[in-house]
Chains A and B, each alone.
Chain A
Amino acid sequence: MPPAPKRPARPSPSPGAPPISRRRFIASGAGLATSLAACTPRGRMEGSLQRPGMDAGHRWRDGHAPSAAALEDVDVVVVGGGISGLVAARALCAQGRLKVRLLELCDEPGGNSSGGNIAGIPHPWGAHYVPIPSPEAQDLVGLLRELGVVTGIDAAGRPAYREEYLCHDPEERLFLHGRWQDGLVPNLGLSARERAEIGEFLERMNVLRDARGADGRRAFAIPVDASSGDARWRDLDRETFAAWLSREGFRSAPLRWYIDYCCRDDFGMDASKVSAWAGLHYFASRDGLAANAPSHSVLTWPEGNAWLAGRLREPVAVADALRPGVMATRVEALPNAVRVDGWDVRQSRAVGWKARHVVLAVPSFVAARLMSGNRPVATPPVQHAPWLVANLWLDRAPDGRGAPLSWDNVWMEGRGLGYVVANHQFLRRNHDGLVITYYLPLDHAEPQAARREAAAWDWGTARDLVLEDLHRVHPGLGGITRRLDVRVWGHGMATPTPGGIWGGDRNVDGRAGERVWLAHTDHGGISIFEEAHAQGLRAARGILHAQGIS
């Protein structure tokens, strides 16, 4: 089987895959015995339900936007401390010549790439991995080199990655037919035809990876704006991925499950809702290469991409540019300057800046609201999928039959996307328990309705939802759970529905006015780290250029 994009499959286990050794079999049997024999109801499980930024955001939505009495004069205000904003602020601070302020609504920057910590075990609250980039993504490779993730470049130009940060083996497993198989591409119990169709699909994606348009550009590139403008490819944005798949004869259930899983994982919605262009982009845009890892490897940390957010944050904090707990409420163009009003959430007071430039590193609907009365922010209308993420602190690893506990653990019958194990990337073995991060895109209803429904949940409801799904593969898991924290991301990530990428009046220069720069994954249309990085860097470079700094 050809190497699949991104996370799919270590060389897919052949039909004659190595049988589970008796030792491992016994180990899992015995582990299970312990759990069945000693599974007692424990003391009450603790936990919390968090909705980052929701209260302040809703008050602002409902009209709370007082003006600041005094304005601080600065060079640049970056609004939003997600990856896009952090990358922009970091690049702007790098020269040490600009006075920068990074406003972030929450207590810590990170946005969808934030993380937490339970009992000394760091864990993600959102984004948790980055695929190794293709060598031509020079900026990204450069960043990773600065952060010590890339340790060198070999003679063939391939980056060498710090092994510790490459996802350790075993990477993924899938639960189906009552046991865990190696890898996420369904294999266990498939008919020859179903297996062949999966092979065909992956091979097709391999071919598309090299496809180019009449303009010579790649059909599906990262960042999205680097993709070919050829209508032959862009028109794929008009239909759903499911429609494309059916037309191309990709119909077998296991393959379609796998594709839906990938779409939900990256877009928060399945193939019947996302654009075919976006779906293909997921499979055909990645062609990472490394000196010391196979091409579909991913980089990850116990706290997921919060590790990257933390490294990006450092120089911004050192430059005293970080202003957490501040929500921007209005952005207004003045002659030769921009005025930014904000609300200091912790001190409950209005604050304001007069800046030469402002970077809007916030979701497009926030940017539009900030700019109201001014030029509307031109991007295709973006839908945001709501997400639930839960972190569970367990006494010990859950039991299971078949492939051993892996970094990413997915079950076919699941409602959510499975869980990743925070401890997986640890080198040391002495830690207290295990933290797993469970992901559930709330795509059972229209985003608006799902958001409203989730807003009414209390912790107990959310906990039951999470445990119900986990109990499908780990009966009795609730009994070994010490803590269960849930976060609801009301506007989790942009979902590229048909027309969502190339349909509208796409903003290609990343600007909303002479001094207002846009930098958010929403404007790329696809919510991934690489896009956020490219967005942030583009805005920073534009400003540096405008200021005559190179």
Chain B
Amino acid sequence: MNERATRLLLLASVFVIATCGLIYELVAGTLASYLLGDSVTQFSTVIGVYLFAMGVGSWLSGFVTRHEARLFVQVQLLVGLVGGGSAALLFAVFPHVDAFRPVLYGLILTVGTLVGLEIPLLLRILKDRIAFNDLVAKVFTFDYVGALLASLLFPLVLVPRLGLIRASCLFGMLNVVVALLSARVLRLDGPWAAATRWCGALLLALLGAGMAASSHILAWSESQMYADPVVHAVSTPYQRIVLTRGAGDLRLHLNGNLQFSSRDEYRYHEALVHPGLSRLPDARRVLVLGGGDGLAIREVLRHPGVEQVTLVDLDPAMTRLFGSQPMLQGLNGDAFASPKVSVVNEDAFAWLEQPRGTFDFVVVDFPDPTNFSLGKLYTTTFYRRLARVIAPEGACVVQCTSPWAARRAFWCVDATLRAAGFHTEPYHAYVPSFGEWGFILASARPLAGSPRLPDGLRFVTGDTLRSMREFPPDMARVPTEPNQLNNQSLVRYFEEDWARATGR
């Protein structure tokens, strides 16, 4: 390559470096203001720290006495890796660390320092090739023009078209390409040159993969929330279903919330079904709303008198999974294969709108009211509709979060059922992986009969039943407002109570 071309290439690399450098700064600033809020503070501190770090880099360059070219290439590769991966890293880390800022500023310091090293090194590399006054003029021109380009590209093209993760990966790749090209024009040789090439190729592959997998990076980061290896993960239009398996323990998480652990789910499901159903000796038709895992049905089917079980679950992916996966079929006793069981994949609210006949027992096993659309399934309106499908002598049971951790939420469900005209019997059970958990049995009239429990239960006995109905003072009833569509009081209680209980 002739000298002119080399000079041009090196100057072009100033341009790329400047662009990339500013892009990383913008990525960090944007991410920080999105994730932490207060964009003025975030941008100003990010820019400040970044510029300072560049100063540190420039200062450090003074200690470099030889191998400038080699170091330049290495720094370039490192910038590609750290800067290019920064968005992905920050997104992945954010939900998992309490102190996000140290990570953020650590990253900014690193990238800033590396970028700060680059220009002085390049100046020194070029000083023998270009007259000093011309050199300074050119380098800084390219530097500033590159910055302009970056600041225009970023909001107009990169964020809307690519998104932050892909944009930073792309620019990381550009850094790597510059590193590889400069390694060539600077005629690096020996073992370093080969290592550089390998490193560069590896980084390109890595960042390319990062680009391709940008949308999976979140999913991956989420998997870090689970203690055990993820054995099955799928996103449906309604939720994210994740199964994990540890030592002899299978766990189901919906949207990150633990639904059951195979080690103690029997406690939950026995407590959900038997206290109610055991007092309805004539129950023939049973309805299960939610509970697409089939575990509640398994318990229902222990009652030989039950002739028909209808399961209504919004998500076909859930019922399909639990009806076809041997490991899960083992867990629910292959409940979906029973001729008594029929499955409807419909929204419970919409399904209840049509006349459906009546059921002797209804199990309401919805996810906790963590958001307003789930909160609607716990309203007076919902329970009034539900009442229409319960036989006059029948009953329903509602799972309703922890009366210890979310005391007002639990009693709010009770108040809501009462407001909808039900007589209620609240009770609770201890499920180790959940903690103290609450249920409410509700019926038009107080239930008479004494419980006739099926054989083979591991948790519910006559004695446990009695203790379940006692609420110690720390879980005792508190006055609450019934949950209506137009106040969604439950979601608010739930949020506040859990926030307090978990100290967040």
Contact = CB atoms under 8 A, between A and B. Distances in A.
Interface of A: 18, 21-24, 26, 29-30, 32-41, 163-164, 166-171, 178-179, 292-293, 297, 401, 404, 427-430, 475-476, 479
Interface string B469-504: 000000000000000111110011001101100001
Interface stretch (B45-53, B137-145, B212-220, B442-450): B212-220
Interface of B: 33-35, 37-39, 91, 94-95, 159-166, 214-215, 217-218, 222, 237-238, 314, 346-347, 349-350, 370-373, 376, 379-382, 484-488, 491-492, 495-496, 498-499, 504
A404 B382 CA distance: 22
Contacts of A39: 160-163
Given A37-B164, A476-B160, 6 more contacts: A21-B498, A21-B499, A33-B91, A170-B372, A179-B37, A429-B347
Contact of B488 (A35, A169, A297, A427): A169
Nearest to B351: A428
Given A22-B504, A38-B163, A163-B379, A430 B350 contact: yes
A429 B484 contact: no
A34 B216 CA distance: 9
A475 B499 CA distance: 30
CB-CB nearest 5 A-B residue pairs = A169-B488, A428-B347, A428-B350, A427-B349, A166-B486
B372 A404 contact: yes
Given A169-B485, A178-B37, A429-B373, A21 B495 contact: yes
Question: Interface residues of A: mostly helix, strand, loop or mixed?
Answer: loop
23 contacts: A21-B496, A23-B370, A26-B94, A29-B35, A36-B163, A37-B163, A39-B160, A39-B161, A163-B380, A163-B381, A163-B484, A164-B485, A166-B484, A167-B486, A168-B376, A171-B486, A178-B37, A292-B484, A427-B350, A429-B347, A429-B373, A430-B346, A476-B159
Contact of B37 (A170, A401, A479): A401
Contacts of B498: 21, 23
Of B164, B486, B488, most A-chain CB atoms within 10 Å: B486
Contacts of B238: 429-430
Nearest to B502: A22
B233 to A, nearest CB: 15
A467 B34 CA distance: 21
Nearest to B487: A169
Contacts of A427: 347, 349-350, 376, 381-382
Nearest to A27: B371
A456 B407 CA distance: 60
Nearest to B375: A169
B75 to A, nearest CB: 28
A29 B215 CA distance: 14
A297 B487 CA distance: 10
A36 B162 CA distance: 7
A163 B34 contact: no
Contacts of B34: 29, 32, 36, 401
A302 to B, nearest CB: 13
A163 B486 CA distance: 7
Given A29-B35, A164-B381, A427-B350, A36 B164 contact: yes
Contacts of A23: 370, 495, 498-499, 504
Contact of A22 (B37, B166, B499): B499
Nearest to A396: B237
Nearest to A161: B486
A219 to B, nearest CB: 29
A475 B160 contact: yes
A525 B337 CA distance: 67
Given A29-B94, A427-B349, A428-B349, A37 B485 contact: no
A166 B39 CA distance: 37
B172 to A, nearest CB: 15
Contacts of A22: 499, 504
B371 A297 contact: no
Contacts of A293: 486
Contacts of B95: 26, 29-30
Contacts of B215: 34, 37-38
A427 to B, nearest CB: 4
A163 B499 contact: no
Given A18-B496, A178-B38, A37 B166 contact: yes
Contacts of B487: 169
A429 B37 contact: no
Contacts of A163: 379-381, 484-486
Contacts of B381: 163-164, 427
Nearest to B213: A37
A404 B370 CA distance: 12
A292 B379 CA distance: 13
A42 B397 CA distance: 45
A12 B93 CA distance: 35
A292 B161 CA distance: 48
Contact of A429 (B162, B163, B314, B485): B314
A178 B346 contact: no
A479 B163 CA distance: 11
Contacts of B376: 168, 427
Contacts of A429: 238, 314, 347, 349, 373
A430 B238 CA distance: 8
Contacts of B484: 163, 166, 292
Contact of B314 (A34, A404, A430, A479): A430
B55 to A, nearest CB: 30
Given A169-B485, A476-B159, A34 B218 contact: yes
B214 A37 contact: yes
Of B35, B159, B498, most A-chain CB atoms within 10 Å: B35
A419 B108 CA distance: 38
Nearest to A162: B381
Contacts of B485: 163-164, 166, 168-169
Contact of B347 (A30, A37, A430, A476): A430
A30 B34 CA distance: 10
A372 B156 CA distance: 56
A38 B163 CA distance: 6
Nearest to A476: B160
Nearest to A171: B486
A475 B376 CA distance: 29
Given A169-B488, A170-B488, A427-B350, A37 B218 contact: yes
